[in-house]
Structure formats: structure tokens, C-alpha cells
Structure 1
Amino acid sequence: MTDSTLIKASELLKLLANPIRLQILLLLADQPSLSGKTIHQLLELDAKTVAQYLIKLRTKGLLVSRRQGHEVYYSLVNDALVNFIRQLIGLVEQKLAND
């Protein structure tokens, strides 16, 4: 494993080290495409705040977006990341149950 691979992995983990970003990714795992408006309503957060998270996830290559009229719809680039997140959450839940 190269140093550059480890650095990229570290950057990805830093990006995921935010509960709202994780929630957005998990929402998009369950719904293949959601508008920014729908995401902010589901998370019950300010639209501007959600937009900032979505932009960060898109610019880092985890989401793709498409405009349809006045709405921007977001989708996951691939499902592998969501599988990783679900496994990680499972490990955390197991650890909490054992503590």
C-alpha cells in the first residue's frame, strides 16, 4: 500500500467523520435520487446548511448531481461506500451493546 493511498483513505475518513454527511449518504442509499430540497426536509435542517454538505460531498466525488428545472437532484457515485458505512455503523452498535 502506498503513502498516497493511505493519504486518500485518511481524507475520505475525515470527510465521513460528520453525522450529517453520513445521514445524507444513507438517505441516498435508500432513494437513488433526491433533490436538495427533499434532503433538507427529511433531515429537518436549514436548506443552506444542507446545500453546503451536498456541495462538499459532490466536489469530493461521492455524489453526482443533475438539474431538473429549479431543483438539483443528487445520487451516489457508487454503493461501495454505503456498504462500508453500514458495516462501520454495525460495528459501532455492536461495541455499544457490549459496553
Structure 2
Amino acid sequence: MEYLEKRAELLKAIAHPIRLCILDCLINQKKCNVTRMMKVLGKPQSTISQHLAKLRMNGIVEGKRKGLEVTYKILDDDVVKIVKLLLKGKNFD
């Protein structure tokens, strides 16, 4: 049951249109910074940062700082498979 609860939490964490779009961007770009995500999504930095925080808290993405820039990437291969399945045939980039 614990495994199923963890999987359900993973699904909850990605179950938002903006987070799905962020993940799609990260899948297509392999790595991406907030500035690029803002351009792709047309959303302010604060919105992107809130959603990235949720994804980070759930171990889905990680950010690597290089100077002033933080580049994000997906850590969980299962998330990549799920998002690709959900967005099959769609590209928001």
C-alpha cells in the first residue's frame, strides 16, 4: 500500500497544467532555466517558481546553480514516461 501511496503523490504533484507544461519543456530541452520556461509558458517568474518548488519537493526535478542561473532537469524517469504518454502528439515548446 505504501508504494501505491507514493505513486499517487507523484501523480498529484504533476497533475496541474502548468507543471505538465514545465515537465514537457524539460523533456524536450533536457535542461531548462526559468527564463526559458517563462517564454514558453507566458507566465511570470513567480508562478513558474511556485510550480518548480512543488516539483522539487516531490523529488521530480532538481535545479543546478551556475552563477545567477539555475538550470532544471527531471530526476524521475517514470515521470518522463507518464508525461510523454499524457502529451503524446502534443508539443507546447
TM tier relative to shorter chain: 0.7 to 0.9
- TM-score, normalised to structure 2, is 0.85
Out of 76-85 and 9-18, give the one that drifted further: 76-85
Greater relative contact order (Cα 8 A, min sep 6): structure 1 or 2? 2
Q: State the superposition RMSD in angstroms.
A: 1.6
Give the deviation of 1:23 after TM superposition.
0.5
Between Structure 1 and Structure 2, which shows a larger proportion of helix residues?
A: 1
Which position in structure 1 is the counterpart of 2:24?
A: 26
Is residue 70 of structure 2 the alignment partner of residue 75 of structure 1? no
User: Paired residues, what number?
Assistant: 89
C-alpha distance in 2 between matches for 1:30 and 1:89: 12
Structure 2 equivalent of residue 43 of structure 1: 41
Give the greater-gyration-radius structure (CA): 1
Q: 1:85 Cα shift?
A: 1.9
What code does the residue aligned with 2:53 have? I
Are 1:64 and 2:62 an aligned pair? Answer: yes
Residues 78/10 of structure 1: CA separation in 2 closer, same or farther (3 Å cut): closer
Q: 1:11 to 1:78 in 2, by over 3 A?
A: closer
Runs of 4+, deviation exceeding 3 Å: none
- Tell me which residue corresponds to 1:55: 53
Instruction: Kindly provide the CA deviation profile for residues 3-47 of structure 1, in whole angstroms up to 9, marking residues without a partner as x.
Output: 101111111111121011011011100111111111112110011
